[in-house]
């Protein structure tokens, strides 16, 4: 059976199926009319209100979507035109890269350090004349790197946004999954006028429920709502009604505890196994989320490693997939969808594949 370090999704054992069943029954009981009617483009109103309260903003600042990728797509449609400069982290989420390039944006990648985007390099770009519309930032437990933006860098980034007039798109689906260290404030709470915020219930309820959301100025949310009504009239009221019930009944908090505990264990086992089995690997122990970025010695052929791992039924995503260029000796390991036992076995197989590939490389040189 395949051991997938590729899949950035939760394993079934940490999804509260009984809680979802209960939520579906209770929600349809409590509000049959609201859940079965077309509803509105801004989302199921009770869930919108819950999210607004959670973020301490007005409901008019929230729009609930069919997953947060859809929120990203609407936001890019609203804010990014062909030729606009958009800052991304290097590496960053592959779908974001694809989506921005598909819109003809001039994508400028700024190095992601262990404490988040290199704000000095970003400032250098700005001083040199770059005038971005948007900076796309995944602040917590970044996908693919697992790194978290420090408080000092959050502050600096917001200053740069204010000085150079760009919007920070704070893409924050993993925020609730911190299993170590202290939580940091969201940038949207620190400096709301320069930030649009997106998050999701994919990681705290389940991906298949496809519920994400945007928080922004009421004016921006109104613009996005017009795009939403044109695209689909309204998002999924049944799914959003289920999520609303799940949030308000306390099931969400319990689910988050379950998920965090599993992720904490899996990350610890993964780090220990890598140190033991694959001492050449360099990585930062994550404090939350799904992912870990692993750097192998320069010159390591990750394409060959990918094939050798696949031959052993082990999957990961190559680093090159998350960058415009570079990343050839890096990989992303997701520990969200694998059990502790699978992680132990998977790392042993990965190390075996690595030995084969590097032995082969030496043989070629010889």
Contact residues for its own copies (CB under 8 A)?
A: 9, 12, 15, 17, 20-21, 24-25, 28-29, 32-39, 66-67, 69-70, 73, 95, 98-99, 102, 202, 206-210, 230-239, 241-242
Q: Where are the alpha helices (DSSP H) in the chain?
A: 17-30, 32-36, 45-55, 68-79, 94-102, 119-127, 151-164, 187-190, 218-232, 237-248, 251-277, 302-311, 340-365
By beta-carbon proximity to its own copies, the closer residue of 71 and 176 is 71
Measured between alpha carbons, how far is 78 from 133 in angstroms, rounded to an integer? Answer: 11
Integer Cα distance of 350 and 360 in angstroms? 15
Rounded Cα distance between 237 and 249, Å, is 18
CA atoms of 74 and 72, how far apart (whole Å)? 6
Q: CA 84 from chain center: how many Å?
A: 23
Neighbours of 72 (CB within 10 A): 22
Cβ distance to its own copies smaller for residue 69 or 157 = 69
| Smallest distance from its own copies to CB 38, Å | 4
Specify the residue, 38 or 366, whose C-beta has the smaller distance to its own copies: 38
Minimum CB distance to its own copies smaller for 209 or for 221: 209
Is residue 287 within 8 Å of 269, Cβ to Cβ?
no
Tell me the three state secondary structure of residue 177.
helix
Residue with Cβ nearer its own copies (229 or 310)? 229
Least distance from its own copies to the Cβ atom of residue 150, Å = 30
- Comparing CB distances to its own copies, the nearer of 111 and 232 is 232
Residue 63 Cβ, how far from its own copies at the closest point, in Å? 14
DSSP state of 288: B
The β-bridge partners of 134 are 86, 167
Alpha-carbon gap, residue 212 to 231, rounded angstroms: 16
Which CB sits closer to its own copies, 73 or 138?
73
CB of 98 to its own copies, least distance (A): 7
Give the other-Cβ count within 10 Å of 283's Cβ: 19
Is omega for the bond preceding 358 within 30 degrees of 0, making it cis?
A: no
Identify which of residues 134 and 205 has a Cβ nearer to its own copies in the complex: 205
* Residues ≥6 apart with Cβ < 8 Å to 225: 41, 42, 63
At closest approach, how far in Å is the CB of 195 from its own copies? 23
């Amino acid at each position: 059976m395949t051991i997938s370090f590729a899949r950035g999704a939760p394993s079934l054992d940490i999804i509260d199926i009984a809680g979802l069943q209960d939520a579906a029954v209770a929600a349809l009981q409590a509000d049959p009319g609201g859940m079965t009617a077309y509803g509105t483009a801004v989302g199921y109103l009770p869930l919108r209100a819950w999210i607004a309260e959670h973020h301490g903003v007005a409901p008019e600042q929230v729009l609930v979507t069919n997953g947060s990728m859809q929120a990203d797509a609407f936001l890019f449609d609203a804010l990014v035109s062909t030729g606009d400069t958009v800052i991304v982290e290097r590496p960053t989420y592959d779908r974001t890269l694809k989506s921005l390039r598909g819109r003809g944006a001039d994508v400028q990648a700024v190095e992601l350090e262990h404490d988040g985007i290199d704000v000095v390099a970003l400032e250098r770009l700005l001083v040199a004349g770059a005038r971005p519309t948007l900076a796309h930032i995944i602040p917590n437990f970044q996908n693919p790197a697992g790194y978290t933006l420090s408080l000092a860098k959050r502050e600096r980034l917001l200053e740069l946004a204010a000085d150079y007039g760009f919007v920070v798109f704070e893409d924050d689906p993993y925020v609730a999954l911190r299993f170590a260290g202290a939580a940091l404030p969201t940038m949207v709470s620190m400096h709301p006028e320069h930030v649009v915020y997106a998050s999701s219930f994919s990681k705290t309820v389940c991906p298949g429920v496809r519920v994400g959301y945007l928080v922004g100025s009421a004016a921006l949310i109104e613009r996005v709502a017009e795009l939403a009504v044109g695209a689909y009239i309204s998002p999924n009221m049944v799914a959003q009604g289920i999520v609303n019930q799940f949030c308000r009944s306390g099931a969400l908090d319990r689910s988050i505890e379950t998920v965090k505990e599993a992720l904490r264990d899996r990350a610890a086992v993964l780090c220990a196994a890598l140190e033991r089995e694959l001492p050449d690997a360099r990585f930062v122990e994550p404090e939350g989320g799904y992912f870990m970025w692993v750097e192998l010695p320069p010159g390591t052929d990750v394409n060959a490693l990918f094939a050798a791992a696949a031959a052993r039924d082990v999957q990961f995503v190559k680093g090159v997939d998350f960058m415009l260029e570079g990343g050839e000796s890096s990989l992303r390991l997701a520990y969200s969808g694998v059990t502790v036992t699978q992680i132990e076995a998977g790392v042993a197989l990965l190390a075996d594949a690595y030995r084969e590939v590097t032995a082969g490389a030496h043989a070629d040189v010889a």
